[in-house]
Amino acid sequence: MLIDNFIKDTIYNAILRDGPLFLEWVSFNRFKDIKQIGEGGFVKVFSATWIDGNAQYTKRDDGSWIKKAPESFQVALKWLNGSQNMSADYLNELKTHWSLYKLENTTLTFYGMTKDPKTEEFMMIMYFANDGNLRNILSNFHSRNILKSGDVSYISVFGLSGPSNEQKLDNKICGVLPYVSPEVLNGEPYTLSSDIYSFGVVMAEVSSGKPPFYNRKHDTILALEICNGLRPEFGKGTPEIYKKLAHRCMNANPNQRPTANELYEILKYWYNYSDNNKYGYKVEEVEAAFQEADKEIPNISISYEKDPDVIYSSRIFTFKNLSKPINSSLVTKLYLNEDDNEVCQDPQLIGLEISNSLKLNDDDADN
């Protein structure tokens, strides 16, 4: 019933983007060539051919829309564990994914829902990213939830890291341990700043070519050391400005982390060099730093031997008596500069807020 109402609501409130945009309910028998291609802690992913394809429309001269002829194509089916009795919390996470897809074209296309008649569990119908995940490219918010298609990277899920039949549980943490922020390990709720921390971990992973803490057991001791300031390693030759930004993201104090908009502006500036010095950086120094780092890429080995007790899929765990999160003294001295915070104080960054176009209003959250 929850899913039915959700899909009906997207139809009644369809928006126009090259035609009406809404979620579809698709019978499971309209898929063929179904093959499992991945598995996480609480989801499985399958590739499949959607026989009829999604509804596409052409606009007539009189302004009305006519449906195009069906055309089959490959999709990904994300099987949601325990979704026979989907919780309201989990449904809200599906709604968040849909809301973000409507606003920005940087999330994987969410076509609709289907149900496996054998298990009675729901599946999300998603765009199939044919180049795999970031971890595969190098050899949930973590690297396996960043998918590649051509030159474009997509975040594949938003918060879908726990069992779909459970409400959010007090004192229980759901996620991939090396990417979870220290305050969440301490029992604080997930926030936008928690995702910024995870992004910093991904930055370190992109730098080294190796997943964080691949060579040690993912257990209470690791959680304790993360709270005491342990952070992932970076690759040889990584620019200092890159490491500094990543460590700002991984600051033990969530209030000292950059905002999503700060990150967007800084990374965009690094990618598109201009003639202007911005955000406390000098363009010639930025360009020189990354050009020098590029020379090290062929020398970086991305082969590694994992500890048998590492777990890179989402799971539920509870930690007790962890210490209050702190930064290591060395990281603070080299990268955080918490006394002056010179990059944060650049007038071009002060007051940056997440764009209104990315905010979900109260109505979106409640619908």
Backbone angles phi, psi at 20, to 5 degrees: -60, 135
> For residues 76 and 137, what is the distance between their CA atoms, to the nearest angstrom?
18
Residue 23 confidence class, pLDDT cut points 50, 70, 90: very high
The pLDDT assigned to 61 comes to 83
Q: Are the C-beta atoms of 133 and 149 separated by less than 8 Å?
A: no
Residue 29 pLDDT greater than 90, yes or no: yes
pLDDT in tens, 295-311: 988 888 888 899 999 98
* Dihedral Cα 282, 283, 284, 286, nearest 10 deg: 90
Mean pLDDT of 340-345: 43
The DSSP call for residue 81 is T
Give ranges for CATH 1.10.510 in the chain: 169-360
Per the CB < 8 A criterion, the answer to whether 115 and 82 are in contact is no
Report the pLDDT averaged over residues 60-82: 86
What's the rounded mean pLDDT across residues 52-81?
Answer: 86
DSSP structural state of residue 69? P
Residues 6+ apart with CB under 8 A from 348: 265, 278, 279
* 1-134 CATH, one of 3.40.640.10, 3.40.630.10, 3.30.200.20, 3.40.605.10: 3.30.200.20
Is the pLDDT reported for residue 254 higher than 70?
yes
Positive or negative: CA dihedral 77, 81, 83, 84: positive
The DSSP result for 265-327, as a single string, is HHHHHHHS--SS-BTTB-HHHHHHHHHHHHTTGGG--------TT---S-EEE---SPPPP--
139, with CB counted inside 10 A (0-12, 13-18, 19+), is exposed
Collapsed DSSP state (helix, strand, coil) of residue 295: coil
* Rounded mean pLDDT, 9-37: 90
Contact 160, 149 (CB under 8 A): no
pLDDT the model gives residue 55: 83
Range in 9-23, 89-103, 131-145 with the lowest mean pLDDT: 131-145
Of 6-20, 55-69, 277-291, the range with the lowest mean pLDDT is 55-69
Q: How far apart are the first and last CA of the chain?
A: 14
Mean of the per-residue pLDDT values of the chain: 80
More confident residue, 56 or 228: 228
**Predicted pLDDT of residue 142:** 43
Q: What is the pLDDT of residue 224?
A: 96
pTM over 0.75: no
Is 355 a residue whose pLDDT tops 50? no
**What's the mean pLDDT in 180-185?**
94
What pLDDT score does 74 carry? 94
| pLDDT tens digits, 106-115 | 567 889 999 9
In sequence order, the β-bridge partners of residue 125 are 77, 112
Q: Is 184 helix (H, G, I), strand (E, B) or coil?
A: helix
Q: What is the CATH number of domain 169-360?
A: 1.10.510
For residue 227, the model assigns a pLDDT of 96
Q: Say what the pLDDT of residue 262 is.
A: 92
